[in-house]
Amino acid sequence: MADPVLQSQTTNRLHHHQTQPLKEIAIDYTPQACSHCPNSNTITLTFDHRGGSRWRTTTRFRYGTFSSLIQCPKGNTNGLNFNLYLSSLEGDKSQDEIDFEFLGKDRTIVQTNYFTGGNGNQEQIHQLGFDASDGFHEYVIKWSCDVIEWLIDGKVVRREEKKEGKGFPQKPMFLYSSIWDASCIDNGRWAGKYDGSDAPYVCLYKDIHVPTSTAVE
C-alpha cells in the first residue's frame, strides 16, 4: 500500500504545476506602451521616447509553473533589459524573486537569478544558441517549496534545490515582465549603453500560462 503522506505530497506537487492561460493583467506604468489581447493570449511591450512599461498578474501565486513564448526586440538593443520574472513586490527591498533577464548588449544569452528576502547575487549566464529576437522561444519557471527550475524550449538550463540553513523564495509572488533602460547598472557593463537608433523596440509575449490553483488573495 502506498504511503498516504507521500502520495498526498506528490498529488499536491502535480496540482501546483497545472496551468491555465493568463486572462487579466495590471499595467504598472506607461499603459500606452503595453497592449494585451486576452483572446489571443498575447502581450506587447514597447520601449521608445515614452520609456518602457511593465505588466504583472493581478494576483500573487505561491508556487507553480509560469511560462511564456517570448520574442525579444530587434535592432540595436544596447542598454535595454527585457525579462520574465516572479517577485513578491517590485520595488520592495525585502522581496523574493525568480528571474529570466535578457541583456540588450547580447541577445544570444539570458541571465537567471533568484532573491530571498532581498538578497540575490545568484546570477548565472546561459548561452541560448540563438538570437532571442529571431523568433519565439518558450521560457518556463517551475517553483516549489524546495526546488526552482528554469527551462528554455523544454530543456532545464538551471535547477536550484533548497539547502539547509539557506534562504529560499517562499513569499507569494506576481508574474511580471518589463522593458526598461538599464544603462545605469554597473555603468553600462551589464546590459550596455542605450543607443536608441532602432526605436521603437517591441518585445512580444504569447501563450502565457500561470498556475491554476496556487493564487493567493
What pLDDT is stored for residue 3 in this prediction?
A: 60
d(CA 165, CA 62) in angstroms, rounded, equals 21
For the chain (217 residues), the mean pLDDT of every run of 10, in chain order, is 52 69 97 97 97 97 98 98 95 91 98 93 95 98 97 98 92 98 95 96 98 91
Q: For residue 85, what are the β-bridge partners?
A: 99, 176
Q: Which residues are catalytic?
A: 97, 101
Look at residue 17 in the predicted model and tell me its pLDDT.
79
- Residue 90's nearest CA partner among 211, 23, 177, 150 is 177
- pLDDT for 90 equals 85
Q: Read off the pTM.
A: 0.91
CA–CA gap between residue 188 and residue 193 (Å, rounded): 5
| Residue 120, pLDDT score | 85
Confidence (pLDDT) at 139: 98
Instruction: Give the strand pairing for 201-211 and 60-61.
Output: unpaired
* Backbone angles phi and psi of 188, in degrees to 5: 85, -5
Q: What does the pLDDT read at residue 8?
A: 46
